Structure 1
């Protein structure tokens, strides 16, 4: 049955309102890199790369208030590892477990795999709560140049169906790893069987990992595992980040019935062999998008990530989008 003129007008009006609202949201987007989020009561708390770990709060995921950083000074263990470390902490991950909030964070140098992942805990996300206090537990896992062909950054905590905790992480080098954690969530198990490679891309060893041009140089990072409808979905970011308008970041995904894989894309190609189904990529507004996290808030699935704004000199800004599911595969529209 054809639509009436009034119905067409109403549809056009809805699209205009939606576009205006989106434009206002993008215009006021906060500058963040590598965002993750958690909800407590009626508030949302966002953590991102920054000095001491950047923290924001919001009642609606739209209007954000800057909070005090997690670390006023760099933890001593980070200085023992790298005396030149200046408290600029990368790529956190936040999760609540049994009433405690666990915040994993990355300490590294750009383009190197001399890196470590630490964890700090808190009983509450509310800075006005008298119990609000960050307690650092030091390093969880560390990568060493010349010893390891993986990079201990970009952590993500997840649990399998038996409640066993796992930490996925990795950037470039030989891809994304997953390792079993002890029940205290602050230490890894030492069993060799607890380690897995779950995603990777070919690396040209004669090229610098950040200067591969049009060739892949192991350019995969930012793992995030999201459980839905019997599958574990492994989201990851491909290609060049951190270069403003010159970035080529994009988000891909694979899925598995087991948390340790194998993760397959839509064509059944394994992610350990370079597979990955596109979830979202840049457009005219955004030069590139990536370093994603997936959550369910109020029965709606969201992808939280950053994009490099072509209209603002390539600055990295927060993007929040609903995930659309088609035949069991996620996609996100910018």
Structure 2
């Protein structure tokens, strides 16, 4: 059950039911000077969509964003803007990947060109930047989108386009009809091979192998996620699994943007990917476990993520979002303002959790541990490291200063604990080891990169294990090596750039050190060892506080209905005209109506509504439909509604979206004189689906959170929308958005 058990809410019956102190002598954990508050690019970029992040070999962190103006009122887009930071909190704009005169030669520079969704990688000594080119000269058509790639000797450039698409425009049966070849993500598999993932709603997500240069695909593509649900793929490898993070719903609906991130996992890059309930991301009733969704604070539309890992091994998710009070960069209805956010990401039962399940933060947060005592990129010096006198400092364009051992030497720093993480960038033919050791008693754990045998070795106590590095491992290029000791487990890996795609991993039991004493960590090198970006830090032992499960309260029988009569109970208000439904066999049977509540007025559709008790309540229904699977039934749906008026409501439905069946939680509202609609996606539906909306007050607002279940026992929490608390609401049922379907409701329950 894992994450489901941790985050599940209380199931119902089939019918309505009545940190420790630092040891003396230890170095304090390294942190920036203070906490951070989202958005992290405040004062640098008002919008920075689709962020991708890397730690450069020079010790700086670099982020890359979609081409937009960076600031309100600027007007002119930056072609893939680049910002950098030492601490992931204070950022500076350092340039753009392209200018108007250096755009890819195969990009159609006519109005409408966009360079979107960059993905940054470091492979075999060069930086590789992948991106969407929305208009190309490959065909005479418009919107013939493709994936491009550029290389650079440093993270800031200069960037040189490869000269042709990596993934060319994919025609789909007629002039001007192209599958959406968007949102590239490139990873390295354990055998050293390169793979690209790309795609979007129109066409689905696909993966294909790349040649070693990363410029061309070398085999057929494999679809890994169904069309009409996902985009913005991001793959990472953890504990033997590939995790596919993918965004879903509308990225850019201004004040009603419900963009969010869901996840599935697989043993292979080519799938099959399944969610926490074992449901495939290729299924018509599509799987996907929500990992990042709006929670009722200022941030909505939380999506298109990347991941990074700080120097203590803590993962963080970076993504864009929209401030619901300031949704556009300039004029209403124009460019959506999507700044970059960052939040802590943990793994619970094998599944990712953002901020303990709370979602995006808007308050002061503890920052990532990436700078300070116990870490150095060599250019900042390492005089406080024991053994520093035995190393020579050299420099180059990419990494800046780096260290070379002319004879066997070490660089060690006190960690204060055997629970520690050591990292270093390593290159060359000399054997280099990372170690965590006790100052007394002989306890030690080491990870050795041995180029002469092309192996990674891990030694813990009397145990030793090793794994071969992939064929063609480029010893002359920088690689990141990690050694981590937590409890009685030692872990080591090698990757190109700490981006969650290691080419070698090892794990061993590590005997717990006995007694008390000082501990240190660092690098032990042989003659010729070449290192940079060294860190040796204790791993904080902070308990993870998970969001508590939903508590239903007691049933309000006077506002509930189990449809046991022979007609619709007169306590219901029939809004928008008589409801064309019947009560039969203990169910409300309601043919889907042609109208849709979305849009000005009531859309010619009807609702069943009733009052709710105050601000804190939960409403629930169980429904079955005849939508089937795989066929197009746009956009037939049935579900719950919280109704303040025909243009101010939220709707939670099991809906047919082309070939998929999804649980959508949407809102319609007016903002800045415009009527806006947008939705977010909850958990996978079933042939029978259970839906809940929970209401609570926060200040002057009513927070409305969606839940769904496909078995009545395991519930998935979705997004939160808000309505003014002063606006009276009613709750009820609907069946609409396309004639010809049938929805059967087993009950309607209100808890308070």
**Which category describes the TM-score, using the shorter chain as reference length?**
0.7 to 0.9
Superposed CA offset, 1:144-191 (max 9, x none): 4434763211000012221111000011112100011011111111x3
Structure 2: how far apart are the matches of 1:307 and 1:329? 22
How far apart, CA to CA, are the structure 1 residues paired with 2:338 and 2:94? 19
- Counterpart of 2:62 (choices 19, 42, 45) is 45
Q: CA deviation at 1:113?
A: 5.7
**1:54 is aligned to 2:86:** no
Q: Return the alpha-carbon distance in structure 2 between the equivalents of residues 113 and 181 of structure 1.
A: 24
Q: How far apart in 2 are the matches of 1:23 and 1:160?
A: 35
Per the alignment, residue 168 of structure 2 pairs with: 142
TM-score (norm 2): 0.37
Q: Could you tell me whether the CA contact under 8 Å between 2:134 and 2:143 is conserved in 1?
A: yes
Of residues 219, 222, 247, the one that matches 2:229 is: 219
Secondary structure of the structure 2 residue equivalent to 1:245: helix
How many corresponding residue pairs? 286
Name the structure with the higher helix share.
1
Is 1:296 matched with 2:305?
no
The 1:23/1:137 distance shift into structure 2, 3 A limit, reads: closer
Q: Point out the more displaced range, 315-324 or 247-256.
A: 315-324
Secondary structure of the residue aligned to 2:84 is strand
The answer to whether structure 1 residue 178 and structure 2 residue 207 are counterparts is yes
Pairing 1:156–2:156 present: no
Unpaired runs of 5+ residues, structure 2, are 1-33, 68-77, 136-141, 329-336, 361-752
Q: Deviations over 1:198-245 (max 9, x none)?
A: 0114xxxxxxxxxxxxxxxx1310001001111000000010112221
1:210 equivalent in structure 2: none
Look up the SS of the partner of 1:167 in the other structure: strand
Determine helix, strand or coil for the equivalent of 2:107: helix
Aligned match for 2:291, one of 279, 286, 307: 279
Structure 1 unaligned segments of length 5 or more: list them.
1-19, 202-217
In the TM superposition, what are the counterparts of 1:57-136 in structure 2 within 5 Å? 57-73=84-100, 74-79=103-108, 83-85=109-111, 88-108=114-134, 114-125=144-155, 127=156, 132-136=157-161
Superposed displacement of residue 25, structure 1: 5.4
Q: Where has structure 1 moved over 6 Å in runs of 4 or more? A: none
Q: Note the aligned Cα RMSD (angstroms).
A: 2.1
Name the counterpart of 1:240.
250
Q: Is the 8 A contact 1:294 1:302 kept in 2?
A: yes
Aligned to 1:209: none
Q: What's 2:345 paired with?
A: 323
Residue number in structure 2 paired with 1:8: none
The alpha-carbon deviation at position 296 of structure 1 amounts to 2.2
Cα separation, 1, equivalents of 2:118 and 2:144: 17
Classify the secondary structure of the residue corresponding to 1:63. Answer: coil
Do 1:226 and 1:295's aligned partners in 2 also have CA atoms closer than 8 Å? no
Question: What secondary structure, in the 3-state scheme, does the structure 2 residue paired with 1:293 have?
Answer: strand
